[in-house]
């Protein structure tokens, strides 16, 4: 029971760290976007027409990927999911081994 409690605690800690990093990324995105806008409009830093919009768009896409990873992918594909998949694959392997053993036994009995 102690091990399960520790695993739950570690899982909660890891999820909180992931969410905290995502929120930090969001704040950084907002401040960075504001800085790029100000740099283009008021500081006259210009590399072409609306260059900052392309940077913000790419950054936003990266943020969306980060969001999907934290709230969709990692939420469903956690340790329990991993264990279930491993157990399922081990059971399939055991079933296949049993079938091969019975097939070998049948072949040896038929030859005798």
> 């800085």: which residue's tokens?
35
- Rg of the chain taking only CA atoms, in angstroms: 27
CB 36 within 8 A of CB 56: yes
The arithmetic mean of pLDDT across residues 16-27, rounded, is: 95
- Using pLDDT thresholds of 50, 70 and 90, give the confidence band for residue 29: very high
Residue 108 has pLDDT above 80, yes or no: no
- Using pLDDT thresholds of 50, 70 and 90, give the confidence band for residue 11: confident
Round to whole Å and give the CA distance between 41 and 81: 49
First CA to last CA distance, the chain: 53
Q: What angle do CA 53, 55, 60 make, to 5 degrees?
A: 90
Round to whole Å and give the CA distance between 55 and 76: 31
* pLDDT tens sequence across 55-100: 999 999 999 999 999 988 877 777 777 888 888 999 999 989 888 8
């Amino acid at each position: 029971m102690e091990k399960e409690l520790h695993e739950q605690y570690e899982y909660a800690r890891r999820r909180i760290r992931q969410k905290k990093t995502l929120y930090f990324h969001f704040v950084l995105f907002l401040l960075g976007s504001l800085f790029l806008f100000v740099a283009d409009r008021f500081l006259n830093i210009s590399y072409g027409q609306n260059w900052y919009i392309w940077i913000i768009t790419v950054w936003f896409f990266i943020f969306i990927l980060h969001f999907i990873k934290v709230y969709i992918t990692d939420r469903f594909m956690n340790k329990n999911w991993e264990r279930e998949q491993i157990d399922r694959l081990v059971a399939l392997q055991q079933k296949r081994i049993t079938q091969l053993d019975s097939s070998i036994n049948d072949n040896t009995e038929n030859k005798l």
